[in-house]
Amino acid sequence: MTTTATMIHEEIAAPPRALRSNSTAKSLAAQNGDDIELPTILTSTESRSSSPKHPDPSHISTAKTPAIRQKAHIQFFALCYSIFLAGWNDGTTGPLLPTIQRFYHVGFAVVSILFICNCVGFISGAALNVFLTDKFGFGKTIVLGSICQTIGYAVQAPAPPFPVLALGYVINGFGISLQDAQANGFVASLQENAAAKMGILHAAYGGGALISPLVATHFASQKHWSFHFLCSCAIAFTNTILLVWVFRFKTQNEALAEIGEASTETDESQQSKYSQIWKTKNVHLLAAFILVYVGVEVTTGGWIVTYIIQERGGGPSSGYISSGFFGGLTVGRLALLWVNKTVGERRVIWLYSILAIALELTIWFVPSLIGNAVAVSIIGVLLGPMYPIVMNYAGWILPGWLLTGAIGWIAGFGQAGSAILPFLTGMLASKFGIHTLQPLLVAMMALMIGLWWLVPPVQRRTE
C-alpha cells in the first residue's frame, strides 16, 4: 500500500512530459488544445506499467553509470554552446547599429532591413527543419546549421556592400534556426530534469547575448568595426567542431540512447508531419506568443542603445546597457527557476509580464539615465524565464514525434517577431522619433498577456 502511494506520488510530482507516453488519441487530443486531466490518465495502474517508452525519471537516474552521466553532460554542454552562439548573434546588432548607419549612410528604415533579413533566414530554417531532420537526422542537421552560421559571419567580416551584409544575416538566421530547433527539441525530449535543463540552455543564450554587446561595443568605436564578425566566425567554427565531435552525425534517438534516455514517441498517423503541425492549434498559439516575446526581446536589446543616446543623452558606452539587458535575461533564467516552480509556469508568465510593463512605464516617463539602465536590466530578468517555459510547455502538450518539428516552427516563426517589431520600431522612429519605442513595447507586452491566456492549461493532479 505504501509502495503504491509512493509510486503515485512520484508520478504526480513528475512534469506532464510523461503524457506523451499515453495513447496516440490522448496525444492528438492534447495537440488540438483540449485540457489534459492528469487524474484520468494516472488512475489506472495498468496504464502506467504499460508505458515502457517513458519510465519514471527516478528509475532512469539510478540506472545511469558515471560514464553515461558524463556523456550526457558533454552532450548538454555542446547544445548550450550552440545556443550561446544564437545569443551572441542577437546581442551583436544593437551596439553596431549606429556604426552601421554611419558607415553605409543609411537611416532607421533602411538599417532595419537587417532584422528582416535575419527573420527570412529563421523562417526558411523553420520551414525546412522537418524535411532536413527526417532526411538527414539530428546530428547532420544541427551541424549544417552551425556551418551556415560560420559562413554568414565570414560574409559579413570584410564589411561588404550593404546588400551583401544583409545576405549574411539571412544565412545566419537560417543556420541559427536549425540549431535552435534541434537543441530545444533534444532537451524537451529528455526525461530527467528537463525543465531545469531548458532554463540552463536558454541561460546560455543570455550569456552569449550578454558578452556579445561588450565585444561589439568595443569594435563599434574602431576603424575596422566589422572585425567583430571575424571574431564571431572563429567562435562559430569552434561550435561546428564541437557538434561534430560530440554527436558524430547521429540521429536524436541514437544520441538519446547513448545517455540512457528513452527514444521519442513514434508517429502512428498516416498524415505527414507538416500536415499535423499545420493542423495543431496549440503549435500556432505558442508560435504567436513567441513571435511577440522575441520581438519585445530583440527590439529592447537592439534599439535601447539608440533610445538612451538620443532621449537620455547617453554616450558611446551606452552599448553596455544592451549587455545589462541580456545579462538580466541570463540571471532570470537561472535565478527564477524556483519562482517558476512555486508559482506555476502558467501563472508566473502573467506575473512577469505585468511587472515588466510597470518597469517599462518608468523608462517611458522617468528621464533618468541610470534609472532607465537599471530598469532595462530588471526587465531582462523578468523576460528571461518566458522562452524556456514556453519550450517546456510545448514538450508537455505536444506529441513526441512532432516535438522537434513543432518547436522548430514555433522558434522559427517566432523569430518573425525579431524582424517585425524592430523594423516597425525603425519605421516609427524614422517618422516620429525614437521615443515611440516605449509605447510600442508596452503595447506588445500587454498583447503577450492576452496570447498566453489563449494557450490551454496543462492541468495537474493535486493531493
* Contact indicator for 85, 236 with CB cutoff of 8 Å: yes
pLDDT in tens, 202-239: 889 888 888 888 888 889 888 889 999 999 999 999 99
User: Which of 6 and 399 is assigned the larger pLDDT?
Assistant: 399
What's the grid cell of residue 128? 525546412
Q: 112 and 203: one domain? A: yes
In-domain check, residue 354: yes
Rounded Cα distance, 424 and 412, in Å: 19
Q: 359 and 427: one domain? A: yes
Say whether 246 sits in a helix, a strand or coil: helix
In-domain check, residue 44: no
Cα 137 to chain centroid, rounded: 21
Q: 311 and 406: one domain? A: yes
Decide which of 229, 260, 291 is a domain's last residue.
Answer: 260
Q: Supply the DSSP symbol for 459.
A: E
In-domain check, residue 343: yes
Residue corresponding to grid cell 528537463: 194
User: Which of 397 and 370 is assigned the larger pLDDT?
Assistant: 370
User: 144 CB contacts (<8 Å, ≥6 apart)?
Assistant: 132, 136, 175, 178
Q: 255 and 277: one domain? A: no
Q: Supply the DSSP symbol for 25.
A: H
Tell me: pLDDT of 402 over 90: no
pLDDT in tens, 18-68: 434 444 344 444 444 444 333 333 333 333 333 333 334 334 444 578 889
Tell me: pLDDT of 200 over 80: yes
* Domain count along the chain: 2
Tell me the residue length of the chain: 463
What's the grid cell of residue 391? 519550450
In-domain check, residue 267: no
What's the grid cell of residue 219? 569594435
Residue corresponding to grid cell 551583401: 164
Q: 119 and 91: one domain? A: yes
Q: 278 and 311: one domain? A: yes
| Helix boundaries (H) for 189-335 | 194-220, 227-247, 252-258, 273-279, 281-311, 319-335
Domain holding 254, by residue range, is 65-260
In-domain check, residue 190: yes
In-domain check, residue 368: yes
Tell the burial category of 333 from Cβ atoms under 10 Å away from its Cβ (0-12, 13-18, 19+): buried
Decide which of 218, 235, 260 is a domain's last residue.
Answer: 260
In-domain check, residue 48: no
Q: 276 and 251: one domain? A: no
Paired residues of 37 in beta bridges: 459
Decide which of 235, 260, 285 is a domain's last residue.
Answer: 260
What's the grid cell of residue 265? 514517441
* Contact indicator for 323, 214 with CB cutoff of 8 Å: yes
- Range of weakest confidence among 42-46, 87-91, 221-225, 420-424: 42-46
Rounded Cα distance, 18 and 52, in Å: 11
- Domain harbouring 144, CATH code: 1.20.1250.20
User: Which of 244 and 10 is assigned the larger pLDDT?
Assistant: 244
In-domain check, residue 256: yes
Q: 292 and 417: one domain? A: yes
* pLDDT in the model for residue 266: 53
* pLDDT in the model for residue 162: 94
* pLDDT in the model for residue 386: 92
pLDDT in tens, 114-135: 888 988 898 888 888 888 988 8
